[in-house]
Structure 1
Amino acid sequence: MQGLHLTADLYDCRCADGLMTDAKQLADLCRNHTLAAGLTLVDEKWYAFPPYDGQPGGVTGMLLLAESHLAVHTWPEKRAVTLDVYVCNFTTDNSGKAEALLREIVAAFEPGKSEIHHLERGGDRRPPDEIILEPLNAAGDAVYGFRSRERLLVKRSPHQTIEVLDTPAFGRALRIDGHFMTSEGEEYFYHEALVHPAAVAHGKPERVLIIGGGDGGAAEEVLKHSSVQQVVLAELDAEVVQVAKAHLGAIHRGVFDDPRLSLRIGDGFAYVRDTSDRFDLVLLDLTDPETPAGLLYTEAFFENLRRVMNPGAAVVLHVGTPVFEAEQVRTIVRGLRHVFPQVHCFGLYVPLYGAYWGFALASDRLNPTAVPRAVVEKRAAALPALSYYNADVHYGLFALPNFYRALVQEPVQPEAKRAVG
């Protein structure tokens, strides 16, 4: 299968009409240029389509070559042509012949515009890196992406499609249902921001609930706090945990073997509804709201969370990008404000997510920005070496740009008008 595959899309072709509609004329052209290029004709087939709706019919044809094939399709009503040349290079390099053939046929159609692609296929060489693109919003009018050397794993669990990619930028990256979740090279941006501002502000969290977080990255950060006695990790999909154990050790760093971690596989909504446990910190380390995790971003779920939180406890979650998902961010934060007296939004650029990303910390009384600086410095210094979070970052995270502040600011309710008697 080693060979060269050339494709060409031709637009605004200025050639004589016969070349677009006459099968014999087109076949003669292709046959002559094929033989002139030194390629070997084996067989051929051509078909001229009848006129349709007052428009002339086009021609489809193919030359079968000993080296592979040439295919041509014309659309005279659009003055457009597509060409396809593939040659095998297993015993002899036929690339030059293929290039010459395509060049001469393209010239014969005299296109005003052309798009030509070269694809090296097969052989012992390493396949080219795959470019993985992901939309930043539902409309898909903004995208970002990364190169992937190899898909180390692709599997369908009962709940979602899970992928592990080997990326040049960040090493191994986890994708779920087509969305990047975490990666070896930059996981600390997200996980340290999710965990440490709330844990440091609280000062002494002992029992922590993580809903989602099956990659183990959040749990690993939580257990850097010496006060933590138990972490309950409620993950919907057991397959995510198994994939993390097998492929993402640089992210979880063996946290699944820590006796303080209690793994609960199942629905996080149901766990919160049914449990009698109480927690000092709740982390919603979830997939996006349009996924099976959608119910966990609702006001009804926030009401349930308040029941399992000790006085002074906090819940932290990501709310999406305020740049590209403004309405989603506004809706989630509004739901939090209807349940919790203290709601503090923060944000940072997360490289794997390709944007400035929003988070929210909610509590009955904990205000992370009101903790004295000396206290934050002392608590942060007691943590093992971190890559992102420190005392300066603690306060900086909550310093919102004006557009984000306006987005999540609770509107001031007008005073009730006095009745005039």
Structure 2
Amino acid sequence: MQGLHLTADLYQCTGDTSIFVDENALAALCRSETERSGLTIVGEKWVTFPEYQGEPGGVTGAILLAESHLAIHTWPERGGVTLDVYVCNFTDDNSGKAQQLLDGIIAAFKPTQLQRNQLIRGDHDAPSEAELLWENLNPNSVYGFRFKRRLLSKQTKFQHLELLESEDMGVTLRLDGCLMTAEKEEFFYHESLVHPATVAHPNPRHALILGGGDGGALEELLKHNTIESATLVDLDEEVIAVAKAHLQAINHGSLDNPRARVLVGDGAQFVKQTQDKFDIVLLDLTDPETPAGPLYTKAFFEDCRQVLAEGGAMVIHLGAPFYEPEQITRLSTELQSVFKHVSAYGLHIPLYGAYWAMAVVSDQLQPAQLSSAEVEKRLTERGVDALQYYNPAVHGALFALPTYYQKLLP
């Protein structure tokens, strides 16, 4: 009997109009997303309603699943959709598949506003007010967290933005169904993204962050008193606005720091057009399978190389080596074809559910060669403190790679 029931109410949708009024188009979408999620179709029924006062009627449909059901109704005159997915978890945990199915259909409709709810059914031990959200590591593996409150859910011009609150993670940012950063845990990622390369550089003065609208990487970067200017370019101004209003525990006001220049725009275009040179470039991006995909290409890496000052370095995260080995190999190979040195490193990041790969790439800088004594000296001289993960001993440990990870690298 135990199962997961997900519902979503979509408003002011901007997706293809055919899936609002054409039952064949809607059915094809729902079948495709159901099959992609790994759930099992055993039957279906679709009905198109007649026109009303000159407006096309909506479509109601249901797909019967071996695991339970999907139900949907469209309201074309309002650009609205009501959607629910229920799966039984009696013999197998189908929660991740249900979440993937819901997310796929929502993405097709492109709602401007969205309300989501979740109900754990038939489980007396589950907290009644905690929403369990799953995220995919690859098509075969998922992980998840319980969130006690949903603080914000909105569709920006580019993506669906959510703020959630968890006992373990605190306020958490989620974009297009992917967990990005959380106030109690962000130091794992942000400190490791910023400090290995920045400490290794003998005198970093000018830095560029592409993405990173939450301000967490910027905050870490500005801890170095050698940094005279830090430019941050993020595509989505609403992420920056939400970060300023709700994620102060992550960015500590860095987005308004006088040494910071915060720009809204396309990072790829900025890199092509800027005449500035940077000692450190941080690619604080969403994953390659997101709209940030074009920024994980050899052509873009070559553009980034052109904006590096002499002795400069770029930092990028590569993904999870155990769950995404092909991606690690591809990106590492492309980076190696552009830069003389690719210094791969890694750590476990709780919010991302896995050991995570990163790399410092440069034609001169090799951070793994820096001694712990020199790391300590530079941190002290630059006034870098209040660190929760990174320290002189950890610097070297980050570059000590597990054998399976080493074998993925060119």
TM over 0.5: yes
Matches within 5 A, 1:187-266: 187-266=186-265
Partner of 2:344: 345
Q: Please list every run of 5 or more consecutive structure 2 residues that lacks an aligned counterpart in the other structure.
A: 4-63, 70-90, 94-119
Whole-angstrom CA distance in 1 between matches of 2:296 and 2:359? 11
Pairing 1:358–2:357 present: yes
Letter in 2 for 1:234: V
Partner of 1:39: none
Matches within 5 A, 1:362-381: 362-381=361-380
SS at match of 2:233: strand
Letter in 2 for 1:405: Q
Pairing 1:406–2:407 present: yes
Whole-angstrom CA distance in 1 between matches of 2:2 and 2:157? 39
Whole-angstrom CA distance in 2 between matches of 1:81 and 1:406? 42
Partner of 2:398: 397
- Distance apart, 1:312 and its partner CA: 0.7
Partner of 2:387: 386
Partner of 2:274: 275
- Distance apart, 1:342 and its partner CA: 0.6
Task: Tell me, yes or no, if the aligned pair for 2:209 and 2:283 is still in contact at 8 Å.
Answer: yes
Whole-angstrom CA distance in 2 between matches of 1:281 and 1:375? 19
Whole-angstrom CA distance in 1 between matches of 2:149 and 2:200? 41
Whole-angstrom CA distance in 2 between matches of 1:7 and 1:317? 41
Letter in 2 for 1:244: A
Matches within 5 A, 1:3-402: 117-118=121-122, 128-137=129-138, 139=139, 141-381=140-380, 382-402=383-403
Whole-angstrom CA distance in 2 between matches of 1:160 and 1:204? 37
SS at match of 2:315: strand
Whole-angstrom CA distance in 2 between matches of 1:390 and 1:340? 27
SS at match of 2:343: strand
- Distance apart, 1:371 and its partner CA: 2.2
Cα deviation code 1:238-264 (max 9, x no counterpart): 010011111111000011221111011
Q: Please list every run of 5 or more consecutive structure 1 residues that lacks an aligned counterpart in the other structure.
A: 1-5, 9-74, 83-112, 121-125, 411-421
TM-score, normalized by length of structure 1? 0.67
Letter in 2 for 1:332: L
- Distance apart, 1:301 and its partner CA: 0.3
Task: Tell me, yes or no, if the aligned pair for 2:372 and 2:395 is still in contact at 8 Å.
Answer: no
Letter in 1 for 2:357: G
Task: Tell me, yes or no, if the aligned pair for 2:371 and 2:396 is still in contact at 8 Å.
Answer: no
Partner of 1:103: none
Cα deviation code 1:86-134 (max 9, x no counterpart): xxxxxxxxxxxxxxxxxxxxxxxxxxx9x995389xxxxx952010110
Whole-angstrom CA distance in 1 between matches of 2:376 and 2:121? 57
Q: CA RMSD in A?
A: 2.4
Whole-angstrom CA distance in 2 between matches of 1:117 and 1:255? 43
Partner of 2:37: none
Letter in 2 for 1:379: R
Structure of higher CA gyration radius: 1
Task: Tell me, yes or no, if the aligned pair for 2:204 and 2:280 is still in contact at 8 Å.
Answer: yes
Equivalent residue pairs, number: 297
SS at match of 2:407: helix
- Distance apart, 1:284 and its partner CA: 0.3
Whole-angstrom CA distance in 2 between matches of 1:242 and 1:402? 42
SS at match of 2:309: strand
Whole-angstrom CA distance in 2 between matches of 1:81 and 1:130? 20
1:249–1:343 Cα change, 3 Å? same
- Distance apart, 1:192 and its partner CA: 0.2
Whole-angstrom CA distance in 1 between matches of 2:299 and 2:360? 17
Whole-angstrom CA distance in 2 between matches of 1:310 and 1:284? 16
Task: Tell me, yes or no, if the aligned pair for 2:147 and 2:164 is still in contact at 8 Å.
Answer: yes
Letter in 1 for 2:403: N
149-158 or 371-380, larger mean C-alpha shift: 371-380
Whole-angstrom CA distance in 2 between matches of 1:325 and 1:178? 18
Structure 1 residue ranges (4+ consecutive) displaced by more than 4 angstroms after TM superposition: none
Cα deviation code 1:131-157 (max 9, x no counterpart): 0110111x1x11100001111001101
Cα deviation code 1:247-306 (max 9, x no counterpart): 111000011221111011010000001110100000000000011111111100000011
Whole-angstrom CA distance in 2 between matches of 1:374 and 1:7? 55
Whole-angstrom CA distance in 1 between matches of 2:361 and 2:226? 21
1:278–1:132 Cα change, 3 Å? same
1:333–1:117 Cα change, 3 Å? same
1:285–1:128 Cα change, 3 Å? same
SS at match of 2:369: coil
